[in-house]
Amino acid sequence: MYKGLFVTLAFIAIIYTSCKDVAYKIPHPAAATSYFPQTIGSSWRYRDSVYGEATDTANVHGTRVDTLSLTITGATTDFNSKICYNASVQSKVYGPQMAYYYYGAHVFALYQTSPPWGFTMMQLLVDTASVGYQWESNPSVFALLNGYPVRTINTIVEKGISRMVNGQIFNNVIHSASNFQINIDNNGFQNIAHFDFYLAPAVGLIEKDADYFGYLNEVETIIGYSIK
């Protein structure tokens, strides 16, 4: 029943019209030793595997594997007073794009365009929070999807764990999870997607697992990085 909703997510691309050049003091970037480095020149490479059913309107049928390369440029963008550091993105499938790394009040967030959503604002971590901590965030600039309210319920699932990704072991990893929810016709919020994020200190995001209910499954894993 939600397939039509994902098709309309493209409208979120008009987020770019709400961005503006930063006209006031730019915050210091998150440190190279943090769980979400923003230091100029830092870069990451990911293997992004997406699987879609033949009936999906997202136009991803079967398995599609992409390689993503992200680099912090040093430029910044203001999203409604949320100052983000820009990251250039190179995708073998989609070509050049932009992503935006936010850090403020101990919250780390990633703003980017990805199928089947369009532009999303996902809060990955509160770095001072304990295991079990939950918080609510807004995944879109307008807090609406196809005219219906949306939200994400985020949870710190694990802290201080070790996780192997593509043969490399990362220590002191924090695992968070987000449920993407929509409230249709005031019938209450229901999950339409689930995300798991794994972040390592002095590295950043090492893995993202996503389940877009009834649509796509995605696994994004780090294959290389250079933190400046």
Kindly provide the b/e burial profile for residues 45-57, where b requires at least 16 CB atoms within 10 angstroms of the residue's own CB.
Answer: ebbbebbbeeebe
Contact 71, 10 (CB under 8 A): no
Specify the pLDDT at position 142: 72
Q: What's the whole-number mean pLDDT along residues 44-66? A: 74
Please give the residue that has the higher pLDDT: either 147 or 29.
29
pTM: 0.85
Specify the pLDDT at position 54: 57
The token duo for 11 is 């409208």
Q: At 145, is the pLDDT very low, low, confident or very high (cuts 50, 70, 90)?
A: confident
Rounded CA separation 9/105 (Å): 29
Specify the pLDDT at position 11: 38
**pLDDT value at 22 more than 50:** no
The CA angle 105-222-104, to the nearest 5 degrees, is 5
**pLDDT value at 115 more than 70:** no
Please give the residue that has the higher pLDDT: either 154 or 141.
154
Contact 116, 212 (CB under 8 A): yes
Kindly provide the b/e burial profile for residues 180-215, where b requires at least 16 CB atoms within 10 angstroms of the residue's own CB.
Answer: bbbebeeeebeebbebebbbbbebbbbbbebbbeeb
Specify the pLDDT at position 146: 76
Rounded CA separation 216/209 (Å): 11
